[in-house]
Structure 1
Amino acid sequence: MKKLAIFDFDGTLIDSIHDVVRYLNEALSMYDFPTLTSDEYVKYLGGNIDEIVALILEENATPENIRQTKDTYLDIYYRAEKENTVPFPKSVEILRKLQDMGVLIAINSNRFNDSIATFTERHFSDIDFFMIMGHDFDYPSKPDPHAVLEIIKRADVDLSEVIYIGDSGTDIQTARNAGIDCVIVKWGYGNERDSEDEYVLEAIDDFDEIIKYF
């Protein structure tokens, strides 16, 4: 039985893409760079914010353009209310159930910690997360297993007692690099290829399906 659940955040617990694309497009427009649809944006997901912006800018991805686009986007994003960023159905309910079962619950994301905290305080206030490890410029981001292994070390559990729940190929590779099991959710920002990856224990359609692992 698993004792520790490590969740990806965006695309797994929370649906954030509508606000992200809206405010990113505002930043791109300010510098006359092409804007994106949500479907186009998903193709660039996986890395940290600098890596994503660099991919989006394509031939315009000079260090200065990356910096100013990222900084402008973050300034707009942090000031915005982000009313369209909401938990996926059943995510709050299932986290409560896992917590009641005594499962340790952690988050590992390439989103900044303070940004994660904004939404956990707003939508998951009654969940006592064991650890939240977002993007930190002092350490490598996903799919590097640094943060996952640090969570596991502090939880003092065996690798076999941990499961990583995510929505994308980056999450699968993170779990693989850490040597832990992985479940993929189908409602996020991944694709069919991710769901069919041989490393994945299961690709689930309903959050209730995660409970059996605990």
Structure 2
Amino acid sequence: MINIYCMKLLAIFDFDGTIFNSVDDVFICFNKALRHHNFPTLTKDEFYKVLGGNIDEMVSLILKDQNTPENMELIKDTYGRLYNESSKENSLPFPNIHDVLRQLQDKGMFIAINSNRKNDSINYFVDKYFNDIDFAAIEGHNPAYPSKPSPCGVEIIMEKLNVSKKDAIYIGDSSTDVRTAQNAEIDCIIVKWGYGNQDVWKNDYIIGTVESPCEILNYF
């Protein structure tokens, strides 16, 4: 059967939860920062519920009714220092995702990243684990632009690469990713190995879900 998605030219990947399994180190450092300033710590399930936004949005949700500007800066600064100093030994690419990226590259696809993680942090992991992958564009969190689910990052990527909406596809794991793709008016597939849940997998907007990285290739 002919694959109706074979004409896609651009694959835009979310980073955390899609390409990279980073949640444990982020979770550990956030709890250390909260404990240091005598705020309640989070369970893993509680932490999953605040994922998807940029650092400011995450800290605001974590602190709840104590999310004053002063408290937010305290936690952000302490978390940032702890995370930068950490070994990040638990942060690794998801199994087989590297091979899929290489196969897409070999097919001549544009591969890009759109994330609410800061660019310098994305580049750190890309340089360490994906130095053979030629990412055509990386658009992380930039305070000068709105974060996901704004389509801003996706639109910058498509404009830079001169790719139309119909030729792009967004690959992510969360409801934020679905809304980002919807706001950008491009197709979206959702991976099941990330930090999303069944509500995301059943979203009417997505064109499909994948159980393993190799299944991504079926859409090209």
Name the TM-score class by shorter chain.
Answer: over 0.9
1:57 is matched with 63
The AA in structure 2 aligned to 1:114 is: D
CA distance in structure 1 between the aligned counterparts of 2:209 and 2:219, rounded to whole angstroms: 13
* Count of equivalent residues: 214
1:82 is matched with 88
2:179 is matched with 173
The AA in structure 2 aligned to 1:28 is: L
Percent of residue pairs identical: 53
Specify which of 146, 149, 160 is matched with residue 143 of structure 1: 149
Structure 1, unmatched stretches of 5+, are none
Specify which of 104, 107, 116 is matched with residue 98 of structure 1: 104
1:118 is matched with 124
CA RMSD of aligned residues (A): 0.7
Superposed counterparts of 1:1-214, under 5 Å: 1-214=7-220
SS of the equivalent of 1:132 reads: strand
CA distance in structure 2 between the aligned counterparts of 1:26 and 1:80, rounded to whole angstroms: 11
CA distance in structure 1 between the aligned counterparts of 2:43 and 2:74, rounded to whole angstroms: 21
CA distance in structure 1 between the aligned counterparts of 2:66 and 2:37, rounded to whole angstroms: 11
SS of the equivalent of 1:93 reads: helix
- In the TM superposition, residue 212 of structure 1 has moved relative to its aligned partner by 1.9
- In the TM superposition, residue 37 of structure 1 has moved relative to its aligned partner by 2.1
Deviations 1:95-150 (A, max 9, x none): 00000110000000000000001111111111010000000000000000001001
Give the TM-score, by structure 2 length: 0.96
- In the TM superposition, residue 80 of structure 1 has moved relative to its aligned partner by 1.1
SS of the equivalent of 2:143 reads: coil
CA distance in structure 1 between the aligned counterparts of 2:46 and 2:110, rounded to whole angstroms: 35
Contact persistence 1:17–1:38 (CA under 8 A)? no
